Chain A
Amino acid sequence: MPPRMLPEPTPETRHFWDGCREGELRLQRCTDCDGEAYFPPRPFCPKCGSRKVEVFKASGKGVLWSYVINHRPRPDMGTEPYAIAVVKLQEGPKMMTNIVGCPQTPEALPLDMAVKVKFEKQSDDISLPFFEPAGA
């Protein structure tokens, strides 16, 4: 099996992937306008364009927003069928992820289920932020 495709951080996203490695889900917010959290990472506010933004540690909590259960082969995953999910974080942004710690079935994956982040180490540099049912 080929190694799982992993992200290559860029200077603008480095803080996010450093955070995952250190067990923190890091988001950004603007210190010039309304302070609303945003994702994916970028060094300016997507609402007002200000470069005065800060990185902060997010709660790691959210709800299952939508997903599909992929049955098609993806050689570097090898775990089909698996859910490709989008989680809506408590702070507002949505992010793609996988749901771990539960069966990959529609019955086990009701929308709006509370989930929490669970980091899993993939390499020395990269840990991926997965989510698991909050009750787990």
Chain B
Amino acid sequence: MKRKSVAVVGAAETTKMGKIPDQSVIGLHADAALNAMADAGLKPSDIDGVATAGISPVELAHYLGITPTYADGTSVGGCSFMLHVRHAAAAINEGLAKTILITHGESGRSRVGAGGFGRSASSLMGQFEMPYGVTSPPTMFTVPVLRYLKTYGLTEEDLAWVAVIQREWAAKNPRASFKDPITVDNVLNSPMIAWPFRMLMCCLVTDGGGALILTSADRAKDFPAKPVYILGTGESVETPMVSQMADFTSSKAFRVSGKKAFEEAGIKLADVDHLMIYDAFAHLPLYGLEDLGFCKPGEAAAFVRERNTAPGGKLPLNTNGGGLSYMHSGMYGMYALQESVRQMRGIAPAQVPNAKISIAHGVGGMFAASGTIVFSNEAP
């Protein structure tokens, strides 16, 4: 893929976050979109490309009164928005559209105007996983983890540390759902969800949304906010069924997506100042740290426990508090992207001083898909 010359010029979340019973799914998309347009000083008529997941880009464009020359409905789960950013960057480079709006909105908690979480009994998942009692992500995403723990001699306590340290970040974020400090004991004594996973190792279920606006880097300087440049992007998919992951201790989609993004950006691990790893559950940052190459296999738990990813550590991770403590509407990838953009603009509640390169790494489905975006506040 060509070297990117694309930047984020508008970024915003929904006005409210958490429990929003007075807004429907499409209402949350629109609220985030209007906030992002206000951030960029744009009107719907200025947008000529749309991308979204959860609802169709047709619904989004019509609802906002946009007539696009580019529409992307890629829907691979919570990292869809990373893929939308990637595709939008390519589309802008190729001249398919000039100004692309990417939106997310989800009534995960209040379920206003929301669809179900159904799988057909004739799909592969319906035939070969659903009959055995999987219910929802807490009973699927978690399935590989005992193999990971046994392979590297780790325990539930190692998962608990991830939640404890992310709560420290959340405490610095006024919009975080949970801000009170927690201990490893609190996590290990929270209600059992799906052994070895306790409630505090699982993400929140909240309402909210977010939107991004991308345009070419040469136009980006004319917008009110500091441009955030896209240096590199990656994506991949592995399997719709968690039971068919090739390696239960590592995500192939993570490895492929991460490698591609680093190569495109032309950066090394040591160049990364700030990192977001989609944390639907406490094991995901561990897999992400290892599959992106920040830690050797099996060493991420110690890396976290030794406070490398905590406030004051050398690799600030999930600085908004993450899906575990900030918010998680269902497709969290948008919020990881938003936090990367805030960090690059220098306006994050828990700002990392002098951060110049940020990575947002997402997962979709149950290790089904992945998308990785490398951002910088310095023009490439």
B127 touches A84 (CB 8 A): no
- Kindly state whether residue B73 has any CB partner on chain A within 8 Å: no
**A9-B127, A94-B243 given; A70·B135 CB < 8 A:** yes
Main secondary structure of the interface of B (DSSP, over half): mixed
Bound Cα distance from A24 to B23, whole angstroms = 52
Instruction: Report the minimum CB–CB distance from A117 to chain B (whole Å).
Output: 13
Chain A residues within an 8 Å CB radius of B127: 7-10, 13, 17, 40
A66 touches B144 (CB 8 A): yes
Write out the residue numbers on chain A whose beta carbons fall within 8 Å of the beta carbon of B135.
70, 72-74
Q: Which of A13, A17, A82, A106 contacts B133 (CB 8 A)?
A: A82
Report how far A27 CA is from B132 CA in the complex, Å. 19
Interface flag for A69 (CB, 8 Å):
yes
Query: Once the chains bind, are B131 and A6 in contact (CB under 8 Å)?
Result: yes
Measured between beta carbons, the chain B residues less than 8 angstroms from A65 are 147, 248
With A66-B147, A66-B248, A68-B196 as contacts: A96 and B132 at CB distance below 8 Å: yes
Give the complex CA separation of A71 and B127 in angstroms: 22
Decide: A72 and B194 in contact? CB cutoff 8 A.
yes
B241 at the interface (CB under 8 A from A): yes
Q: Which residues of A contact B132 (CB under 8 A)?
A: 84-85, 96-98, 128
> Which of A71, A74, A95 lies in contact with B192, CB distance below 8 A?
A71
Q: How many residues of B contact A (CB 8 A)?
A: 35
Residues on B with C-beta less than 8 A from A66 are 143-147, 248
Asked if A53 is an interface residue, CB under 8 A from chain B, the answer is no
Cα of A68 to Cα of B135 in the assembled complex, Å:
12
- Note all chain A residues with C-beta closer than 8 A to B197: 68
Determine if B133 and A95 form an interchain contact, defined as CB atoms under 8 angstroms apart.
no
Considering the complex, give the chain A residue whose CB is closest to the CB of B148: A66
Taking CB atoms, residues of chain B closer than 8 Å to A134 are none
Give the distance to chain B from A101, nearest Cβ to Cβ, in Å.
Answer: 15
Least distance between A53 CB and chain B CB atoms (Å): 17
- Contact residues in B for A95 (Cβ distance below 8 Å): 128, 243
A99 to chain B: closest residue by CB: B132
Q: In the complex, which residue of chain A has the Cβ closest to the Cβ of B145?
A: A66
CA of A9 to CA of B124, assembled, Å = 9
**CA A72 to CA B130, docked complex, whole Å:** 14
What distance in Å separates the Cβ of B218 from its nearest Cβ neighbour in chain A?
A: 44
Chain A, interface SS category: loop
Contact status B194-A70, CB under 8 Å: yes
Partner of B194, one of A5, A9, A71, A77: A71
Across the two chains, which residue of chain B brings its CB closest to A111?
Answer: B150
Q: Are B128 and A40 in contact (CB under 8 A)?
A: yes
| CB < 8 Å neighbour of A84 from B120, B128, B143, B244 | B143
B residues in contact with A72, CB < 8 Å = 135-136, 138-139, 193-194
Chain A, Cβ-Cβ closest to B133: A77
Compute how far the CA of A4 lies from the CA of B139 in the bound complex, rounded to whole angstroms.
17
Nearest to A78 among chain B residues (CB) is B133
Which B90-135 residues sit within 8 Å CB-CB of chain A? 120-122, 124, 126-135
Docked pose: A96 CA to B191 CA in angstroms: 25
Q: A40–B133 contact, CB under 8 A?
A: no
The residue of chain A having its C-beta at the shortest distance from the C-beta of B122 within the complex is A8
User: Residue B131 contacts which of A4, A10, A86 (CB distance < 8 angstroms)?
Assistant: A4
A68 and B143 contact, CB distance less than 8 A: yes
Alpha-carbon separation in the docked complex, A66 to B247 (Å):
11
A88 to B129, CA, bound (A): 15
- CB-CB under 8 A from A23, the residues of chain B are none
By the criterion CB–CB under 8 Å, are B121 and A8 in contact? yes
| Nearest CB of A to B140, in Å | 8
Residues in chain B near residue A9, CB distance under 8 A: 122, 127
A-B contacts besides A13-B124, A17-B127, A86-B248, 20 pairs, CB < 8 Å:
A4-B131, A8-B120, A10-B122, A10-B127, A40-B124, A40-B127, A66-B147, A67-B143, A69-B195, A70-B134, A71-B192, A71-B194, A72-B136, A77-B133, A84-B139, A84-B143, A85-B132, A94-B244, A96-B132, A106-B195
8 residue pairs, one from A and one from B, having the closest CB atoms: A7-B127, A69-B195, A8-B122, A96-B243, A66-B147, A68-B194, A8-B121, A77-B133
Give the interface of B toward A (CB within 8 A): 120-122, 124, 126-136, 138-139, 142-147, 150, 191-197, 241, 243-244, 248
Q: List 8 A-B contacts (CB under 8 A).
A: A7-B130, A8-B121, A9-B127, A40-B127, A67-B146, A72-B193, A73-B135, A98-B132
